[in-house]
Amino acid sequence: MLESLEALGLDAITETVYRRLLANPNWGVADIADHLHIRESDVRQALDRLADLSLLDWDAATPGHVLVASPDGGLAALLDHFQDDLVKRQRRIAEANAAIASITAMYRDRDRPDGIFELLQTTSSVRTRLAELADRARLERLLLLAGEPMAVAMLESVCSRGAFRHGVATRAVYQAGAQPDPDLMAQAQRLMLEGGQARTAPVVPMTLMVIDREVAFLPHDPHDGGRGLIQVHSTGIAVALVALFDQLWASATCPAEAHPAGLTPVERELLRLLAQGFTDQRAANALALSLRTVRRLMSNLQTQLGARSRFQAGAAAMRRGWV
């Protein structure tokens, strides 16, 4: 065993609790707290963390009893998971750096008269150009749709101009967070009825459309949709934006999937993040929500699951197939 398991996500108290349970698998919360001279709430928090890391689980045959994963199995699997996660994060960082570099270059040079960038300022010019290019696509249309009027206009242009002729694939990821845009959701439903594909994510960082991996549309000002769009004629920039789209598409969920518990997309994503070992604060950052909102959502989930702690909620959600 490692001298310290901090690198695998275990703090000192959690690691000590795990070691004691390995040596004394029949101990309960009170026993551990008494021998370690810590509060029972600290023990329960450590158990939550161990459950998040799949190092223990509730014993279905004996209520209140836990099953501890053996070090050669549980810790080895945890190390493999962290190594895989590190490789994936490094790859995503590299892809994100490439996308950021391309986008930064685009905004730095957007006023150059070289024909690569064109600013569409008026509402009529934006709608006309979006419709024309969406209708002219030969292979695919990819859309990221944050919750603002420009996103609705983009999706409406795709749905309204014979967008599905000639087998052109259309995929969209739209934001369906704590307060989803009803107009955006309605257009997404229309897209799916017409034969396109749509998925939801709790947070979509920006609105964009990429056509045939050659032409892209981006807001001139991400914080002010009224300032128009920038049309980009650059295969290099388009490919970088496609990489960003593919990352979000891979982690997004299908809005047509009816969850047996009736969970919202945000609640499903929160459970998924917590199952991966995210703390409440990290989950709040990932979902672009306040820590108070995440804790309120987690409290509601615990109530639905009849759980008294995150540890119990995680175990119950796993048993019910929510995660």
What CATH number is attached to the domain comprising 198? 3.30.870.10
Q: Does residue 42 sit within a domain?
A: yes
Q: Would you say 216 and 238 are in contact if contact means Cβ atoms under 8 Å apart?
A: yes
Residue 42 and residue 18 in one domain: yes
Q: What is the Cα gyration radius of the chain?
A: 24
The Cα–Cα gap between 316 and 54 comes to 13
Parent domain of 214: 114-251
Q: Does residue 88 sit within a domain?
A: no
Find the CATH number of the domain harbouring 40: 1.10.10.10
Residue 159 and residue 205 in one domain: yes
Among 34-48, 124-138, 155-169, the minimum mean pLDDT is found in: 155-169
For 23-80, write each residue's pLDDT tens digit.
887 787 888 888 888 888 888 888 888 877 777 776 656 655 677 777 776 677 667 7
DSSP of 147-216: SSHHHHHHHHHHHHTTTTGGG-EEEEEEE-SSS--HHHHHHHHHHHHTT-EEEEES-----EEEETTTEE
Residue 228 and residue 288 in one domain: no
Question: Could you tell me the end-to-end alpha-carbon distance of the chain, in angstroms, rounded to an integer?
Answer: 30
Q: Would you say 66 and 34 are in contact if contact means Cβ atoms under 8 Å apart?
A: no
- If you average pLDDT over residues 143-165, what whole number do you get? 71
- If you average pLDDT over residues 142-160, what whole number do you get? 76
Domain-terminating residue out of 230, 251, 272: 251
Task: Quote the pLDDT of residue 319.
Answer: 66
Task: Quote the pLDDT of residue 255.
Answer: 65
Instruction: Give the Å distances, CA to CA, from 301 to 268, 270, 287.
Output: 10, 10, 16
Task: Quote the pLDDT of residue 260.
Answer: 46
Task: Quote the pLDDT of residue 1.
Answer: 39
Residue 189 and residue 149 in one domain: yes
User: What is the number of structural domains in the chain?
Assistant: 3
Q: What is the pTM of this model?
A: 0.46
At 109, is the secondary structure helix, strand, or coil?
Answer: coil
109 pLDDT tier (thresholds 50, 70, 90): low
For 257-267, write each residue's pLDDT tens digit.
434 456 666 77
Residue 247 and residue 121 in one domain: yes
Domain-terminating residue out of 251, 280, 303: 251
The Cα–Cα gap between 67 and 279 comes to 22
Residue 215 and residue 298 in one domain: no
The Cα–Cα gap between 146 and 126 comes to 17
Residue 221 and residue 309 in one domain: no
Q: Does residue 143 sit within a domain?
A: yes
Both tokens of 314, joined, read 């995680």
Q: Which residue has the higher pLDDT, 217 or 318?
A: 217
pLDDT exceeds cutoff 60 at 178: no
Q: Which residue has the higher pLDDT, 90 or 81?
A: 90
- If you average pLDDT over residues 119-144, what whole number do you get? 80
pLDDT exceeds cutoff 50 at 2: no
pLDDT exceeds cutoff 80 at 206: yes
Residue 217 and residue 118 in one domain: yes
Residue 276 and residue 211 in one domain: no
323 pLDDT tier (thresholds 50, 70, 90): low
The Cα–Cα gap between 282 and 127 comes to 38
Instruction: Give the Å distances, CA to CA, from 195 to 47, 71, 85, 306.
Output: 47, 50, 34, 40
Residue 273 and residue 161 in one domain: no
Q: Which residue has the higher pLDDT, 3 or 228?
A: 228
- Provide the 8-state DSSP code for 225: G
Residue 165 and residue 271 in one domain: no
Task: Quote the pLDDT of residue 63.
Answer: 58
